[in-house]
Structure formats: C-alpha cells, structure tokens
Chains A and B, each alone.
Chain A
Amino acid sequence: MTPSEKYLSWLERLPAPVVNALTCALSVLAGAAVAMMFYYLLYRLGLPSQPFIYVAF
C-alpha cells in the first residue's frame, strides 16, 4: 500500500461527519493561505519594477 493509499484508508475509517468537517477546515485553510499569497502579490505588484537607481539617475 502506498502512503497516499494508507492515508485514504485512514480517512475512510473516520466517521463521515468528521471527514466532512476536516475537508471543510482544510478548504478554509487553503483559501486563507491563497489569500495571504494574493495579499503579498498585490504588495509586490505595487513596488516599482525598475530599481531606484535606474529611475533616479
């Protein structure tokens, strides 16, 4: 059995409501992580692409 298969079988042993709650929590966490990356991306987008020295002189 591969590790992922072991993991799936472990999940399958859990009661359905717990699995449901886990996947919801995982989804929220994944969403929040992507939001944070997006938040950082916006910041980097706001920074000038040309270094100061080339713009100023």
Chain B
Amino acid sequence: MSDDITIPPATTRPVRLRPWWFLAGFAGGLAVMAALGRQAANTDYHPGFTRFIPPISPEASYYPTVNEMCAIVRARCRPDQILVIVGGNSVLLGVWQPADVMWSKRLQDLLGDRYCVVNLAMRGASPGNTGAVVAEVLRREFPRQIYIANEKPATELSMLGITVYRYAFWQAYFAGQLMSYPDRDRQVREELLDPANRAMALDLAFVGLTDRFLHFSDFWNRMAFERLNTVPSLYAPAPPAMFRPRRIFEDTEGDGTNLTLDQRYWPSVRETEMKILRGTTALAYERAPHGGWRLSGWTHFMVKDSYQQAFPKALRPRTLLLIGRDSPFFRRQLTKDEFARNELSIRDAVALLHAEGYAAMDYGADYENEDYGDRIHLAPSGGQKLAVEVAREVTAIAKKLDYLK
C-alpha cells in the first residue's frame, strides 16, 4: 500500500555533497587546469604565425599572453641565432603588405639564417608595449637580441607602453619575468599605490598573481585559438560563429601595390591628414632666435626625460627605434618652412635617442607616393625599402655589440 512508503527527511538523504570531498575536487580540478595552463604556456600553438592579425589581437578581445609570444619566438628561433623582435605599431606590423611580401619577412631574407626575425607589432602599440616586454623576458635565453620599434618625432616614450597593450607588462611584472629597473619599479609602485587607482591595482595584482601560478590566460587563449572561442569580437560577435576557434582566421592583409592615388589618399580626409601632419610638430617647435625652428624647451625636457626612462640603460644599445616620415604626397604639400620643421623634428628625435644610448634611424626620405598605402603605412615597395635600411642598421648594431663573434 502506498501508505507504507516513507521518504527520509531531507537531512538524512544520502545524496548530499560531502564538503571535504567537494573541496578536494575543487583543489584537484584547479591543479589539473593549472597544469594544462602551464602546458599551454610552453606550447607554440600558432603553427602558421605571420604576425598578430586583428582577429588574434586585442582589437578582437584576444590578448596574446607573454608566454604565448615567448613560445612563438622559441618555436622559430634557435639560441645560436641573433633574435630580432619587431614591436611597435601598425606601420611595423605591415599594414598594406600581404604576409608573403611584408617588410619583416624581407628583413629576414636580407639578414639570413644568422638572424631570426619575429614580428610582434600590434596596431597602435608604442615601443614599450608587447614586443619590448617579450624581448626583456627573453633576455637570458636570447642574450644576442635586437628590438625594433617605431615612434613619431617629438613624442614622449611611455615606460609602460600605452594602456591597451599594458596587460603584457603587468603579466610579466607579476610573474617576476622582468629585470630590476628602479625607475620603472618606482613608477609601478606609484601607479599601484595611488588611492585613485585602488580598484584597478587590486584587480591587476589579483589577476596577475593568480595567473602567474594558474596560467588561466594561457589555457583559455589556447582553447580560444585551437578549439572553442568564448569571447565575442567584431569578427564573430555572437553565437554560433563566436564559438569558432580563432585559428580559422587567416592573414588577409590588403596589398597596397595597385591602389590608385585616391584609394591611398582619400580626397575626403586629405585636409584632416594635413592637419595631423602639421600638428605633429607645430606645438612642439618654436621659432629659433636667429631664424628657423627649435624644439621648445618644455617639449625637449619631456621628450628627453621620457627617452631616459623608457628603457633600462642596459637594453638601449640593442633597441632600434625607427622615426618615420609620412607619405611625400602630404609632405610635399607643406610650405617650405613647415617642411623644414618636419625634417628638423626627425633629425632631433634621432639625435636625442642616440644621445640617450639607443640605436635609432629615420626612414622615408626618398620614398615615393606609391611606397605608401596611406599617409603613414607602407605599401610593399616601401616595406622593401625599409627592410633594406633596417637590415643595414641591424647588422651594424650586431657588429657593435659583438653579436657576430
């Protein structure tokens, strides 16, 4: 009879979770995930890596980890080679240059097997960002290395790089992978201890320290790249496309070779581009007492000070900073006076960098309209010219630093 069936009271039901077993499962699960994360951190899972194309960059909410970038380098370069890491922004990333003709590939061809060139540039990055962090992290594994980045003239260098890409610095910092550099350590302390940044600092420290041991960024990046992406982006904003792994995206950078002049330099934005070109130096320069131009005192101080602090002194001789010119299409529209100011700013930047111990060079003086895909990015022909100039400079640095012994 149904009256005989008795249900035990909830407190005595045998299916209740056992707290200690649950905790053991939690700890064990975390340990397994950390082990898998560690494995991901030491694996190069970018077999066809050319550069960080937008779908595998912060533009698409994919933040390549420091370990991931180091693994890319290790998989391609031997310790007996001179490591050449390309950092900097979209110009050095090779926008308007398809992967098979991109400038850093040409640079590798010119330098030969003695060197190993890896392009870690990212759009909008500054010299202190990801490439610089990776170079510093690999300083012991690859003691013979040259780091290349680019910057505009009369512009300060940021010690920690621009905010968007600063995550790589924090990863390396909290993982204890960076060298001791008192100026930088001081700035980091000030930034983390500033009461206005308390929430951000706590977040950075918590994530940074836990990631150091648990490697969750490495694990989930690998998962997103190889099997299942869970973060929406401009390239796959919603399911089901969002779940496709990021490895399906190919390097399809456009070719700037066959563009018409109007496609390179859109008539609708030419006026704005001219304002940008003039603005780069207009505020930084003042009239010199005996004619011509000079860098204003305040700008000179700020730029020089930033150059002094941006990189540890020991790393400056192997840091090659490129100061580029905009397309002659725009520079030729400057007045003679403005043109002189523009040229002076480039000479000044290179001289100031040399004075602070950096390797530095300018480029673009004899490039033509067709060598650019737009105001600042180089088309393949410009990229080839840049590669030739940089190869010459890289070889000179290698000789100077006794890398060729």
Contacts and interface: CB of A to CB of B under 8 A. Distances in A.
B214 A29 contact: no
Contacts of B217: 43, 46
Nearest to B204: A46
A10 to B, nearest CB: 11
A26 B17 contact: yes
B163 A31 contact: no
B340 interface: no
Interface string A18-48: 0110011011111111111011101111111
B172 to A, nearest CB: 14
A27 B30 CA distance: 15
Contact of A52 (B5, B14, B59): B59
B61 interface: yes
Nearest to A38: B30
Contact of B18 (A8, A24, A43): A24
Contacts of B58: 48, 52
Interface string B215-238: 011011000000000110000000
A9 B210 CA distance: 44
A38 B26 CA distance: 9
B349 to A, nearest CB: 23
A30 B22 contact: yes
Contacts, number: 117
B15 A11 contact: yes
Contact of B33 (A23, A36, A48): A36
A30 B164 CA distance: 37
B15 A43 contact: no
B23 interface: yes
A28 B21 contact: yes
B207 interface: yes
A3 interface: no
Contacts of A33: 25, 29
A49 to B, nearest CB: 10
Contact-residue size bin, chain A (C-beta under 8 Å from the other chain): 35 or more
A42 B210 contact: yes
A45 B231 CA distance: 12
A35 B14 CA distance: 24
A19 B13 CA distance: 11
A27 B63 CA distance: 35
A35 B29 contact: yes
Given A24-B18, A24-B21, A35 B33 contact: yes
A39 B219 contact: yes
Find the residue from A20, A24, A26, A35 having the highest chain B CB count within 10 A: A35
Contacts of B59: 52-53
B8 interface: yes
Q: Which of B8, B14, B29, B207 has the most CB of A within 10 A?
A: B29
Interface string B9-43: 00001111111011111111110110000000000
A31 B216 contact: no
B124 interface: yes
A40 B206 CA distance: 15
B368 interface: no
A34 to B, nearest CB: 6
Contacts of B214: 39, 42
B14 A32 contact: no
Contact of B25 (A31, A43, A53): A31
5 contacts: A30-B17, A31-B24, A31-B25, A33-B29, A34-B29
Given A12-B14, A43-B217, 7 more contacts: A8-B8, A26-B17, A28-B21, A34-B29, A42-B207, A48-B164, A48-B167
Interface of B: 5, 7-8, 13-19, 21-30, 32-33, 58-61, 63, 124, 162-164, 167, 203, 206-207, 210-211, 214, 216-217, 219-220, 230-231
